Amino acid sequence: MTAQSETIALPAAAKKQRSLWGDVWVQFRKHKLAMFGLFVIAFIMISVLIGPLVYTRDPEYIDFTVANQAPSLQFPFGTDNLGRDGLARNLFGGRISIAVGIVAMLISMFVGSFIGALSGYYSKLDGPLMRFTDMMLALPLLPLLLVIILLFRDTLRATFGPETGIFLLIVFVIGILNWMPTARVVRGSVLSIKEKEFVEAAISIGTNQNTVLLKHVFPNVLSPIIVAATLSIANAIITESALSFLGLGFPSDVPTWGRLLYDGKDFMTFTPWVVIFPGLFISFTVLGINFMGDGLRDALDPKLRD
């Protein structure tokens, strides 16, 4: 009897416990494009973070004797019209472009999650907050971005310096004008979660409404927020690139990918590499993030998990 009990108990003991994020990772690995995107983003992140420590040329060093050099072993990404090294400028600029995407994403996720959670959980706030969200969605975002940056650019530059001031302005403006899709997604998830039995049980025992929202409802809507966050980074990088390409982004001595496109647009007919490489960095970064977002969306879908 004892031997039989041990035999029956062994498979149960040997069976590994499953966790939510373990299941998500298993499902994510099945998504080939998502894994490709993860590899691309990992490669770009390692390149821009560690690359300048290995490839130590000054991105702002001017040498007219090597101006407009085509890509070669000496200059893998060529040089621009001032003789500045293209690889060094792309690696250094990538840090700033990705930092803009991440910080702007954090701002938009915070605002969107806050408004969406309030709108979905408190029915009295739902109407006003959603009408405000709809109004923001109806605004032409790019012209509004341009107006805000033109109004506050000089003030922030004078207060925080030319680099820090424009960084704070760009990430704040991009973040504060891109929270609306997140708010609508979070609202829909909260409306569904708040009808669940465990939420009603928490309310029935007298738990404060704010506590229920923070401890019981909000943790269960993290999945759509994570997916929205990945896509928001890509959107912020594209927006920063567009602003820099229009000459309203970072100054010329801060070589973000968008700024490199702006600086090279007048020379692209006879030195096309000055715009090809930053364009490729932007394209592969955005594609990689979007592929990862698609994979996370599928992996976090409970219907697709075993």
Is 21 contained in some domain?
no
Of residues 98, 80, 100, 145, the one with CA closest to residue 277: 80
Q: Buried b / exposed e across 179-200, counting CB within 10 Å, b at 16+?
A: bbbbbbbbbebbeebbeeeebe
Output the pTM of the full model: 0.85
Task: Answer whether residue 58 is part of any domain.
Answer: no
Asked whether residue 3 is domain-assigned, the answer is no
Domain containing residue 155: CATH number: 1.10.3720.10
Count the neighbouring beta carbons within 10 Å of the beta carbon of residue 158. Answer: 10
Phi (first) and psi of residue 79, to 5 degrees: -130, 165
- Residue 16's CB: how many other CB atoms inside 10 A? 6
Summarised one tens digit per residue, pLDDT across range 239-266 is: 988 888 887 888 877 889 999 999 888 8
Q: Under a CB-based contact definition with an 8 Å cutoff, are residues 278 and 257 in contact?
A: yes
Nearest to 293 by CA among 234, 233, 225, 230: 230
The answer to whether residue 268 is domain-embedded is: yes
| Domain limits for position 185 | 40-47+87-299
pLDDT in tens, the chain (306 residues): 454 544 444 454 444 566 667 777 888 888 899 999 999 999 999 999 999 999 999 998 999 999 999 999 999 999 999 999 999 999 999 999 999 999 999 999 999 999 999 998 888 999 999 999 999 988 888 888 888 888 888 888 888 887 888 899 999 999 999 999 999 999 998 988 888 888 888 888 877 888 888 888 888 888 888 888 988 999 999 998 888 888 788 887 788 999 999 988 888 888 999 999 999 999 999 999 999 988 888 887 766 555
In a domain, 60, yes or no: no
**Torsional sign, CA 281, 282, 286, 287:** negative
Number of structural domains (the chain) is: 1
pLDDT digits (tens, 9 = 90+) for 183-237: 999 999 898 888 888 888 888 887 788 888 888 888 888 888 888 898 899 999 9
